[in-house]
Structure 1
Amino acid sequence: MSSPSSPSMPFAPAAPASATSRRWKPSPLICTAAAVHAGAAVALAARPGAWPWAAGGVAASHLVLTAAGLWPRSTLLGPNWTRLPEHAGQRIALTIDDGPDPEVTPRVLDLLDRHDVRATFFCIGDLARRYPRWIEAIVARGHAVENHSQRHRHTFSLSGPLVMKREIETAQRTLTEIAGVAPRFFRAPAGLRNPFLEPVLCGLGLHLASWTRRGFDTCAKDSGTVTRRLTTGLAPRDILLVHDGHAARDARGEPLVLDVLPALLRAAAERQLQWTTLRACLNEEAAEIDHADLP
């Protein structure tokens, strides 16, 4: 088994893949908000004295849009992978955010090697540039590298479309250059977003992914609490979230995720659940569509 200080490569690197743009289809909520704005404009033009009602309608629509963006698992602003597709069957996905971390990521990789588990790493572009060897190791060991923005700014959800596109596109170039494989998924910092995100992702060929359940392992005090949050109700097609970056530490100074993962992997085995990556499920979904289109 490899030491935490050097990336061994027991698995062949994944073949390069490029993301192609998707057509943006506004969600019903976005269409409704647009209709409210248009109606308010018409009402003001026809009857200027109705401005309090028009302003109230517009304000209410903005509040609803904001609330939808503050709910990471919401699909109100557009498609969002909160669970794996139905064809995943008994499989579940482990997603690992905020890395790479030069201390924690190598140890997580070694642990996953021992259990023969593949995971999806949502990586930050700036950290990937700083620690490229661990991005290379993630791919070489059979895992997937996905886009978690270039700088992981907590003000991301307050950005306009141009800023969002620049942030995501920069990370896309960074991660593709280092990993040799273009990310297919994006996860917003803290899971927060606004209505501008989905059209940007469509233009870049990326799919939004959140999670089914998370352990809050960046702020928890003990690994048992994190494990219970992840394993209570654990079911087929779940997407689970832990962190190799910004990982909380226990009383010994050890990252909680290193205690959580073995318990989580045992719980999945007891339920006869298998692990997969988001990318693998997306590729299978695309293959099914292609097969259905054949004459």
Structure 2
Amino acid sequence: MKSAALPSTRVTPASAAARRWKPSPFICGAAAVHAGAAASLVAHPGAWPWAAGSVVASHLALTAAGLWPRSALLGPNWTRLPEDAGQRIALTIDDGPDPEVTPRVLDLLDNFDARATFFCIGDRAQRYPHLVEAIVARGHAVENHSQRHRHTFSLSGPLVMKREIEAAQRTLTEIAGTAPRFFRAPAGLRNPFLEPVLCGLGLHLASWTRRGFDTCAKDAGTVTHRLLDGLAAGDILLVHDGHAARDARGKPLVLDVLAPLLRAAAERQLQWTTLRACLDSQAGQP
């Protein structure tokens, strides 16, 4: 299916209204540990082993929270759709666009009249802008998955994070014609600096309820089982059109996963939606 050119009038500002950053209780606790350690050193210099140990333990806890993609310890994180989502579920598709896989994924989605959220990499969007246009023209949402998808992203400071996310925000807004409203970190990994950066850019962090590990699995059946086992209303699912694993024939696994997944959702009377549609529903509530 050929995508239609998007009218220039669709272009909106690259960032939504900034959100107010409110440190999570976990972050506040870590700050309190640091303050307590500093105070103890001033009052009792000989307590430095305890002070140093508490600070190290605090940093280890913060690191562990960042290595857990579905954690909300560092700030708000969409791991499920809002409670008022009803029978809706969300399919999120990462790491694209891909010239071989993305068009075939779009065709499969069309066959089931399903809507999905594509977390696109800025560099790949610049390489294949027509695919981003096709995603939007066929009724799906384009969201921010960083400009370069570097696996060192979670080791970055706030300025580097902001530059990386802003670059993707500009790229995707220019091509898709509408600004992303969600961000997903590369590999889902992050650190405490991310949430303040996202708040400043008006973006929401999204992870997932369940994933199929379709970038490293050996067969489509295993991926499908992981996604369908316990599938329920409100779930956010993760698959990939970029970096997709391939079967013995060289076929991307995701192409053999989507049809049974979409069929099973229809049989269970679950409706596909996008993350931004759910966000809009929340905004429209009194």
SS in 1 for 2:147: coil
What is the CA-CA distance between 1:87 and the residue it aligns to?
1.0
User: Is 1:10–1:141's contact at 8 Å kept on the other side of the alignment?
Assistant: no
CA–CA separation in structure 2 for the residues paired with 1:167 and 1:13: 25
Question: What does 1:203-218 correspond to in 2, within 5 Å?
Answer: 203-218=200-215
**Distance change >3 Å, CA 12–CA 262, structure 1 → 2:** farther
TM-score by length of 2: 0.97
Structure 2 residue 29 is matched with structure 1 residue 32:
yes
CA–CA separation in structure 1 for the residues paired with 2:201 and 2:270: 32
SS in 2 for 1:57: helix
Q: Which one of 193, 210, 221 corresponds to residue 196 of structure 1?
A: 193
User: Is 1:217–1:256's contact at 8 Å kept on the other side of the alignment?
Assistant: yes
How many residues are treated as equivalent by the alignment? 284
Q: Which one of 65, 79, 93 corresponds to residue 62 of structure 2?
A: 65
Unaligned runs of 5+ in 2: none
Structure 1 letter corresponding to 2:146: S
CA–CA separation in structure 1 for the residues paired with 2:206 and 2:156: 19
Q: Which residue of 2 aligns with 1:252?
A: 249
The CA RMSD over aligned residues, in Å, is 1.6
User: Is 2:151–2:186's contact at 8 Å kept on the other side of the alignment?
Assistant: yes
Q: Which residue of 2 aligns with 1:43?
A: 40
SS in 1 for 2:284: helix
**What's the CA shift string for 1:236-259, capped at 9, x where partnerless?**
000000000000111111110000
Structure 2 residue 129 is matched with structure 1 residue 162:
no
Q: Which one of 242, 256, 278 corresponds to residue 275 of structure 2?
A: 278
Amino-acid identity (%): 82
What is the CA-CA distance between 1:13 and the residue it aligns to?
11
TM-score by length of 1: 0.94
CA–CA separation in structure 1 for the residues paired with 2:166 and 2:153: 14
Structure 1 letter corresponding to 2:47: A
What is the CA-CA distance between 1:8 and the residue it aligns to?
3.2
Structure 1 letter corresponding to 2:252: P
CA–CA separation in structure 1 for the residues paired with 2:6 and 2:251: 28
Structure 2 residue 219 is matched with structure 1 residue 222:
yes
CA–CA separation in structure 2 for the residues paired with 1:104 and 1:171: 21
Q: Which residue of 1 aligns with 2:102?
A: 105
Structure 2 letter corresponding to 1:136: E
Q: Which residue of 2 aligns with 1:266?
A: 263
Question: What does 1:15-26 correspond to in 2, within 5 Å?
Answer: 18=13, 19-26=16-23
**What's the CA shift string for 1:100-129, capped at 9, x where partnerless?**
001100111111111111100000000001
What is the CA-CA distance between 1:11 and the residue it aligns to?
11
SS in 2 for 1:83: coil
Structure 2 residue 124 is matched with structure 1 residue 123:
no
CA–CA separation in structure 2 for the residues paired with 1:71 and 1:257: 24
Structure 1 letter corresponding to 2:199: C
User: Is 2:11–2:174's contact at 8 Å kept on the other side of the alignment?
Assistant: no
CA–CA separation in structure 1 for the residues paired with 2:28 and 2:9: 39
User: Is 1:36–1:57's contact at 8 Å kept on the other side of the alignment?
Assistant: yes
